[in-house]
Amino acid sequence: MKLSITRRSLVLVIAVITLGLIVSPLQAEVGDPEWDHSQHGEDWGSIEDADGNFPYATCDAGQSQSPININKVKRVRLDEIQFNYHPTELTIVNNSHTIEVEYESEPASTITVGGETYTLRQFHFHTKSEHTRNGRHTPVEMHLVHENDAGELAVVGVQIKRSHRTNQAFEPIWDRLPEEEGPAETFEGVFINAQDLLPKARIVGDDDDDDDDDHRADYADIATQDAQTFDDDDDDDDDDKRRLHRPYYTYDGSLTTPACNEGVTWYLLKDFNTMSRAQINELRAIESTHNNYRLTHPLNDRTVHLYELHRDNDDDGDDGDED
C-alpha cells in the first residue's frame, strides 16, 4: 500500500508534531528520506536519513511484513466482511509512488469485520500484484486502505486479472489518470463508488457444508443487489437465507511501503476482478505505477486464514488444512 501527503494530512502531521503525539502510519513524516520501487523494497531498510538513522529499518527487521506469497492456508469460520461503501466525489493524486484515490464520502464508507469497523481513507494501485498465489502475480492489485478509531489499519486487497473486456467501473478514474506527479485534484460532479470496483459477490445459501451440491455458490453483480435483502443470520428462520459472500484470505501484516509499519490486518479477496489489456497498459505506462510492487516476505510464524463457505475447484492456495 501507499501513502501520500495531501494537504489535509500535512496539517494533521504538523498538528500532531506540535502536540508531541505519535504520528499515525497514514501520515508520512516531513523530512523522511526519499525511496522508490527500483529494487522492489529490498533497499528500504538501509536508507539512511540526515541524522544517520534508518527510519525504514522495520522494512528489513520486521517479522510480519507484507506482501506475502499465499500457498498454504487454514480454512476457518470467520465473519463476512460487511462493505458499507458510498459514493465520493473523485479526488485523485499521483504521489510518485502510485495513483491514489482519496476517499471522503458522506456518510463515511466503512467495512465491518470481526466486530471492528474501519473507515475507507483511500485506494491505490500496484503493477504487478504485490501478493502472489503459489508464486504467481496478477497484472494489477488494488489496495483499499481503512482505519479504525484507534488508528489501526485494515487493507482490503483486490487482485486484478486481464480480461478481453473493458471494466467500465474503472473508466471514470482511468479517464483522469494523472500521468505526472502532482497535487491531488478533485473532479467536480464526478462520483465513484468503491463498491463498484470490488469483484462480483457470490450468492450462497444458508448451508455452508462444502459437500452440499444443492447450495453451490453462484455469482451476482453486487451493484445490482441490495445487501440488506439477504439474511445474514444463520439462526433465524426466515425463508430466504441466501446472502452475499466474498471469500477472503486474512493475515497480520504491514504497510508495503516505507516505513513498513506492522499491525496492519490484511483482507485479500479470494475472487479476482478483471480489466482489459488496454486498461492495464494505461496504468503500467505511468512511471508512478510501473512495476511499483514490493517483493513478497516470509510468513514466519504467521498463519493465513481462508474464509470461504464453499470449496472451489480452482488451484490457488487451497492446499491448506481443514478446520
Q: C-beta of 291: minimal distance to Zn ion in Å? A: 13
| Dihedral-angle region of residue 41 (phi above 0 means left; psi in -120 to 50 means alpha; beta otherwise) | left
User: 67 near 136, Cβ under 8 Å?
Assistant: no
Cell of 20: 508531541
Distances (CA, A) of 194 to 121, 183, 271: 11, 21, 16
Helices (H), the chain: 7-19, 58-61, 171-174, 277-284
List 219's β-bridge partners, or say none: 202
Joined together, the cell numbers standing for residue 87 give 459514493
- Residue placing its CB nearer to Zn ion in the complex, 141 or 308: 141
As measured in angstroms, the least distance from the Cβ of 25 to Zn ion is 13
Residue number with CB closer to Zn ion (202 or 297): 297
Rounded distance, CA 39 to CA 19, Å? 36
Kindly tell me which of 230 and 293 has the beta carbon lying closer to Zn ion: 293
- Minimum distance between the CB of residue 40 and Zn ion, rounded to whole angstroms? 13
**CA 317, CA 136: separation in Å to the nearest integer?**
11
Active site residues: 97
Nearer to Zn ion, 66 or 110 (CB): 66
Residue the block writes with cell 444463520: 234
Q: How far is the CB of 98 from Zn ion (least distance, A)?
A: 7
Question: Footprint of Zn ion on this chain (CB under 5 A)?
Answer: 1-2, 143
Instruction: Report the residue number whose CB is nearest to Zn ion.
Output: 1
Nearer to Zn ion by Cβ, of 244 and 268: the residue is 268
- N- to C-terminal Cα separation, the chain: 30
Q: Distances from the Cα of 47 to the Cαs of 36, 55, 58, 61, in angstroms? A: 11, 7, 11, 13
Least distance to Zn ion from the beta carbon of 100, Å? 9
